[in-house]
Structure 1
Amino acid sequence: MRLVIIGAGFAGMYSALSAARLREIHGVSPEELEITLVAPEPTLVIRPRLYEPKPETLTAPLVDVLKAIDVTYVQGSAETIETKSRTVRIATAKGTRKTLTYDRLVVATGSRLFRPNIPGLAEHGFSVDSLDDAIALDKHLQGLAKRPAVDGRDTVVVTGGGFTGIEAATEMPSRLRKIFGDKAKPRVIIVDRNLAIAPDMGETSRPVIEDALKKLGIETWLGAGVASLDESGITLSNGEHIETETVIWAAGIRAAPLTQQIPSERDNFGRLLVDRHLRVPGVDGVFATGDAARAACDDDGNYALMSCQHATRMGAFAGNNAAAELLGVPTKPYHQKGYVTCLDLGEAGALFTRGWEREVTMVGDVAKKTKQEINTVWIYPPKAERAAALALADPERVTDVTGFL
């Protein structure tokens, strides 16, 4: 029997850990139930930290962890999924093609930044969506100091006033001062078509965020979208033009395109609709998890968000349930009633909220310490010690990535 997991993000990693855990509990050998993880690189990209400087350091190796739990790693990119024949076609790192058959499949392919067809965006826009994108932005920022201090060189425009946009923007003043010097006065602007900053963060959180932006001197241009980008800067839908050499696009994400190959329903974000056990209805043998799945967290109408907080626990349930079907044991319904947010606000600290209503429980330096612990400890892979790694993957014990629930 073979269980194939596509993706080495938070959901894919925990799918592998959880499946291996259940296999061991039932005394089944790796030869009897092969667990295979497919990904371009055997590393976990710490995507929630890509707004920080030195993004090339924000990865964690998975090879030793996978070896410790007897999970086979296949290096390559899944190109085609044939659900009728239960095969996955892979483009390997060596430029060849390889086909894997599966008895159960976990689609943990994550998400991608949504880049609309805006003139100049592809040529002149940066992002912190992927490791390569974040490295390209960091290299660009480092190179600004060699350019003349004219034509908006010291101005950074972040398009999107949501979670990612705010974290990228609030980190930017300190990053730019390190590049230009302590006496520099960089200009950072958040542009959003909504009439309020952080539209999804709730009324209680917004004053904290607005106060932080004010302290950092970050401007907010609201109620206007982006019309175009060019070498001189960015033009908004209301006709205003901002001179800048740096535009960071942070306006939404969509499920990775591979999910389109699964013949099932999807939501507006491209996520596969799944049942409470994370199966894809009507497609035998296929589970979806993390940013690739729209899953109910509870019976109150709350659905998992496209975040590592939900992907971690969803991954544990998906891997467990895919393995459970092969082992002939009961599956477990995914549930995740607890929810927190911890928003980095750069030198202004951070904001920690609890619950879907986002009740503010910590702000400033205290919340910042929590954010740093999340970013440097909680979201990293376990050590390559078999017993300890498998123990962490019990889906009923995997909370959110913060470990605070």
Structure 2
Amino acid sequence: MTRNIVIIGSGFAGMMAALGASRLRHEKGVSPDELAITVVSPTPDLVIRPRLYERSPEQMVAPLSELFVATDINYHQGNVELIDSSASTVTVVTTDGGSAVLPYDRLILAAGSNGFTPPIPGLAEFGFASTQLEEAVTLDYHLHGLAQKTASAARNTVVVGGAGFTGLEFATEIPGRLREILGEDTDIRVILVDRSEHVAPAMGPEPRPFIEERLRALGVETRLNVGISSLDENGVTLGNGERIETSTVIWSGGMRASPLTAQLAAECDKLGRVIVEPDLRVPGRSQIFATGDTAKARSDKAGNYAAMSCQRARRLGAFAGHNAAADLLGEPTLPYDQPVYVTCLDLGPDSAVFTRGWDAKVEISGPQAKELKKEINTVWIYPPAADRAAAYENVLAARTVDF
């Protein structure tokens, strides 16, 4: 009888989970007929979410079909709408309204996360986001459409809500992107708004002076210690009463885990992530593992937890896939660990800052860090070649090699 591992999601964690399970299956000489691995997602693609702030977001997609074929991974198209843990099944709904029920022996929840949209009046109607591919494409279409509008301060002004990692990458990318659309001599105004006292509050004090200097060099204004209180079709109003006329508001105010986590009846953190056991199993659900942005996982002995990021999702996925397969094959599961923590923050056309450690010690900045960021964005985070040996080497490295 075939045993089934079902993986919900084909993002960084879902892809690596599938490869991790496939690698162990192959290593133990188990055939795909004995242990089937199935990925469920809307398309057989990896959306390169860390690059959605860049130009041409529609190109930030990497196909996975050939990789899945090379590693004997099945693909089922659709969205999982129901997880029935008592029956060990998931219900998958397709775009045409059809549905299918898939049984599982082990389930890996790698459904990722969505942008958090607070109930700010007008935000849903007039704001833009870029946490999903469709959102990024819509924003890009809007930006190009500004060239058809009459020149005005509102047309030439972009407000970015949120001065965290994503907000900073948008704010430093937008001036050059808009000048390409509206003309190099256009007076572009970009304003970064955040309730925090400082930009990049989660990164700590060491990289802050460099980030602030880059914002000044690019002409990016900041409004700190204040939030956006409302939006309308002509602009935004801040909590202190300041009015900013703008045609473009980009919201980057944080992420929340897939709502599928709520179906597991497990304890979740304030971001909606399941608080998992060391091997990424869902407490009280021995057949289910959560990984990537759906899991709150302790990453080191110091008590740090994995952040919602591509860097973490890849390794989390590799562990989850290995452990789900190991559990079915009578092998010991492995506790997830990732003590090394690095960030590489893009800061415009010719600069970035690379930090190491939870206290964000700056190691590289400026053009050298920008070259590293380009390599990360265009090489390191992309899927491995559609070759069994290369894929298995990639997933093993993700699980065992620190940055």
Whether these two folds match at TM > 0.5 is yes
Residue aligned with 1:2, SS: strand
Q: How does 1:308-387 map to 2 (within 5 A)?
A: 308-387=310-389
Cross-structure match for 1:254: 256
- How high is the TM-score relative to the length of structure 2? 0.98
How much has 1:202 moved relative to structure 2? 1.0
The answer on 1:22 being equivalent to 2:3 is no
Establish whether residue 58 from structure 1 lines up as the match of residue 60 from structure 2. Answer: yes
* One-letter amino acid matched to 1:78: V
What is the alpha-carbon distance in structure 2 between the residues aligned to residue 239 and residue 313 of structure 1? 45
* Structure 2 Cα separation of the partners of residues 299 and 113 of structure 1: 30
Question: 1:93, CA displacement in angstroms?
Answer: 3.5
Contact 1:316 1:395 (C-alpha < 8 Å) held by counterparts: no
The offset of 1:398, in angstroms, is 4.6
Question: 2-side partners of 1:200 and 1:151: how far apart?
Answer: 32
Tell me what 2:172 maps to: 170
Which sections of structure 1, spanning at least 5 residues, go unmatched?
none
Q: Is the counterpart of residue 67 in structure 1 residue 65 in structure 2?
A: no
Question: What amino acid sits opposite 2:323 in the alignment?
Answer: N
Paired residue for 1:292? 294
In structure 2, distance between residues paired with 1:46 and 1:260:
26
Asked if residue 142 in structure 1 is aligned to residue 135 in structure 2, the reply is no
CA distance in 1: counterparts of 2:202 and 2:156, whole angstroms: 29
What is residue 191 of structure 1 aligned with on the other side? Answer: 193
- Matched residues, percent identical? 56
In structure 2, the partner of 1:241 is: 243
Structure 1 vs Structure 2 CA RMSD = 1.0
The SS at the match of 2:55 is: coil
Aligned to 1:179: 181
Distance 1:153 1:225 in 2: 21
Q: 1:133 aligns with which of 132, 135, 140?
A: 135
CA distance in 1, matches of 2:349, 2:37: 44
**Structure 2 residue 6 is matched with structure 1 residue 4:** yes
Amino acid at match of 1:233: G
Cα distance in structure 1, aligned partners of 2:345 and 2:68: 31
C-alpha distance in 2 between matches for 1:34 and 1:327: 12
What's the TM-score, normalizing by structure 1? Answer: 0.98
Shift of 1:300: 0.1
Please state how far the C-alpha of 1:325 moved relative to its aligned partner. 0.5
Q: Deviations over 1:88-134 (max 9, x none)?
A: 00002432010001000000010000001111111100011110000
Letter in 1 for 2:301: D
CA contact (8 A) 1:212 1:348 kept: no
Q: AA paired with 1:187?
A: R
CA positional deviation for 1:145: 0.9
Q: Is the alpha carbon distance of 1:97 and 1:304 closer, same or farther for their aligned partners in structure 2, counting shifts above 3 Å? A: same
Q: Does 1:82 align with 2:84?
A: yes
Secondary structure, counterpart of 2:37 in structure 1: strand
The residue identity in structure 1 corresponding to 2:45 is: T
**1:31 pairs with 33, 41, 45, which one?**
33
Structure 2: where are the runs of 5+ without partners?
none
- Aligned partner of 1:215: which letter? A
Q: How far apart are 1:396 and its partner, in Å?
A: 6.8
Secondary structure of the 2:166 match is helix
Q: CA deviation at 1:301?
A: 1.1
2: CA distance, partners of 1:93 / 1:199: 40
C-alpha displacement of 1:151: 4.8
Cα 1:282–1:97 change in 2 (3 A) is same
CA distance in 1, matches of 2:397, 2:211: 34
SS of corresponding position for 1:35? strand
Runs of 4 or more, structure 1, over 3 Å off, are 395-400
Q: Which whole-Å CA distance do the structure 2 matches of 1:135 and 1:89 have between them?
A: 29
Asked whether the 8 Å contact 2:318–2:399 carries over to 1, the reply is no
Contact 2:319–2:399 at 8 Å: present in 1 too?
no
Matched, 1:154 2:134: no
Letter in 1 for 2:274: L
Q: How has the CA–CA distance of structure 1 residues 398 and 147 changed in structure 2, closer, same or farther, with 3 Å as cutoff?
A: farther
Structure 2 letter corresponding to 1:329:
E
Q: What is residue 205 of structure 1 aligned with on the other side?
A: 207
Q: Secondary structure at the match of 1:28?
A: coil
Deviation at 1:399, TM superposition (A): 3.9
